[in-house]
Amino acid sequence: MSDPARIDLHTHSTASDGTLTPPELVRAAADAGLDVVALTDHDTTAGWVPAVAALPPGLTLIRGAEISCRWFGVEPAIPLHLLAYLFDPAEPELAAELARVRQAREERGERIVRLLQADGIQVSWTEILAGADGGTVGRPHIAQALIRAGLVATTSEAFGPDWLGERYRLPKDDIEVFRAVALVRAAGGVPVFAHPRASRRGRIVPDELIADLAVAGLAGLEADHEDHDAAEREHVRRLAAELGLLVTGSSDFHGTHKTVRLGAHTTGPEAYERIVALARGVTPVASS
């Protein structure tokens, strides 16, 4: 590995709402000078096999996912994202939950499209599904349809309050967060709370919940992320230190669906080694 190692533990491919295919993603990670990249598509492991097959020399792949969760401790419940690393994808209960969430995302996507159509907005669900090309469907795919229709110019505009951010936002049928932590652990995986203080994305959960999740098996918190400002990053670091959790940083790269670049934020080698040491599901993959 180069010194210091460049480790980016949160990226998306066309297996969910990124725009690079898994082979393109691992090649881009190598080109960006990364030593380690984690593929963490929303609610799916479908990108793992093609990413492994295309892994360039010198790059280590951490197989992961970003799991759509919800905390029901307040009304209405708060959605949150759990990164899960190196879990066994064949563990039946976790695999079944991920399949259920992917199905629920399709139903929710279609309902959002019906709401848009009811207001006279010309978007086609068939076209949006085709755009997702078998990957996990998300609002970024609907955003592309709004762009194609000339209604908004950019993905971030499509996430504004007049569109998918509020007016045409519907909840997903996510996994209860304590159940998700337990399932990831049972599958030998390492759960890390993604962008836990990203208030600009919506409501955030209280620190007390994070403390309870740590007791339940949460391993870490993502601190360095583009949706955290400096104070939020510091808050996450302090909380992680108090709770004995590891701290990660990552790009949350989505290709052209977002402006952030691979390696824009990175994870230190100690936190990375802790994740690998805790994992019991699958191993990191390095091409020979």
**Which parts of this chain interact with Zn ion (CB under 5 A)?**
66, 252
What is the per-residue binding string for ligand AMP in 155-194, x denoting contact by CB under 6 A? xx--x-----------------------------------
Spell out, one character per residue from 80 to 99, where the chain touches Fe ion: x when CB under 5 A holds, - when not.
Answer: -x------------------
CA distance 215 to 228: 24
The verdict on 224 binding Fe ion (CB under 5 A) reads no
- Least distance from C-beta 53 to ligand AMP, angstroms? 25
Q: Which stretch binds ligand AMP (CB under 6 A): 2-10, 153-161, 237-245, 267-275?
A: 153-161
Shortest reach from residue 187's CB to ligand AMP, in Å: 22
Helices and strands (H and E) in the chain: how many: 10, 9
Pick one of 135, 138, 249, 281: the residue that binds ligand AMP (CB under 6 A).
Answer: 138
| Cβ(29)–Cβ(259) below 8 Å | no
Nearest residue relative to Zn ion (C-beta)? 252
Q: Which stretch binds ligand AMP (CB under 6 A): 32-40, 92-100, 251-259, 269-277?
A: 251-259
Is residue 80 within a helix (H) or strand (E), and if so which, with residue range? strand 78-85
Contacts of 64 by beta carbon, 8 Å cutoff, 6+ apart: 9, 38, 39, 40, 83, 84, 85, 86, 87, 189
- The amino acid at residue 280 is R
Is-contact 61 282, C-beta < 8 A? Answer: no
Beta-bridged to residue 224, according to DSSP, are 249
Chain contacts with ligand AMP (rule: CB under 6 A): 17, 42, 138-140, 155-156, 159, 254, 257-258
